[in-house]
């Protein structure tokens, strides 16, 4: 049987940029988290052309707790399960930050359907086998960005969907060296 798993809700398209300890302190003192700096000023400070095309570290998806998952049978088009009628029992947590580094999170706060995942299985869909993959970013953002079903990571099957920007936020994460 073939299924489509949809992930929607409120979330983020978060671009992360490594910072030195001095840069992290300087950006905070410049008021970046208080929305004092423009995107152009931030890009100039980071010595990049533009914020969203140059990050090697991006985490996109719905916030954990503000997410909505639906499962549709591809053959009938019928919705057979959603996260309002029952949550999954298990989750997989991962570090979504930049290992051993302070970093800047440029968070595009978004709303809509982030991804669809494809699942093919011999059995009927069982919500107890579905495990959202959650990336923790800067110790303050938990973003659902992948799915595991019956022990198999189906995140590679994800296709971007239709979500839109609701505004930008900036978080400076300082690694406790």
pLDDT (0 to 100) of residue 177: 55
Q: For tokens 């969203």, what's the residue? A: 52
Question: How do residues 27-43 score in pLDDT, each as one tens digit?
Answer: 999 999 998 999 999 99
The C-alpha atoms of residue 78 and residue 3 are separated, in whole angstroms, by 10
- The structure's pTM equals 0.92
Backbone dihedral angles phi then psi of residue 174, each to the nearest 5 degrees: -105, 115
State how far the Cα of 101 lies from the Cα of 120, in Å rounded to an integer. Answer: 39
Q: What residue ranges do the domains of the chain occupy?
A: 2-173
Residue 176 predicted with pLDDT over 90: no
Distance, CA of 79 to CA of 20 (rounded, Å) = 48
Q: How high does pLDDT run on average in the chain?
A: 94
Q: For residue 111, what are the CA distances in angstroms to 18, 93, 164?
A: 26, 22, 6
pLDDT tens, position by position, 89-138: 789 999 999 999 999 999 999 999 999 999 999 999 999 999 999 999 99
* pLDDT tens digit sequence for 39-92: 999 999 999 988 877 788 999 999 999 999 999 999 999 999 999 987 777 899
pLDDT for 50: 85
CB 107 within 8 A of CB 45: no
Residues sharing a CB contact under 8 Å with residue 127, sequence separation 6 or more, in sequence order: 71, 81, 86, 88
* Positive or negative torsion for Cα 81, 83, 84, 89: positive
CB 170 within 8 A of CB 107: yes
């Amino acid at each position: 049987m073939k299924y489509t798993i949809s992930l929607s809700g409120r979330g983020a398209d978060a671009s992360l940029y490594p910072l030195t300890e001095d840069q992290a302190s300087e950006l905070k003192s410049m008021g970046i988290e208080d929305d004092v700096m423009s995107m152009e000023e931030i890009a100039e400070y980071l010595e990049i052309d533009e914020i969203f095309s140059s990050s090697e570290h991006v985490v996109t998806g719905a916030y954990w707790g503000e997410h909505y998952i639906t499962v549709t049978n591809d053959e009938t088009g019928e919705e057979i399960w959603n996260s309002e009628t029952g949550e999954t029992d298990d989750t997989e947590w991962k570090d979504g930050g930049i290992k051993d580094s302070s970093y800047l999170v440029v968070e595009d706060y978004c709303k809509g359907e982030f991804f669809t995942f494809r699942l093919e299985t011999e059995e009927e869909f069982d919500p107890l086998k579905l495990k959202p993959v959650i990336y923790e970013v800067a110790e303050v953002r938990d973003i659902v960005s992948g799915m595991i079903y019956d022990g198999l990571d189906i995140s590679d099957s994800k296709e971007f969907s239709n979500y839109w920007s609701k505004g930008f936020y900036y978080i400076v994460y300082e690694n406790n060296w």
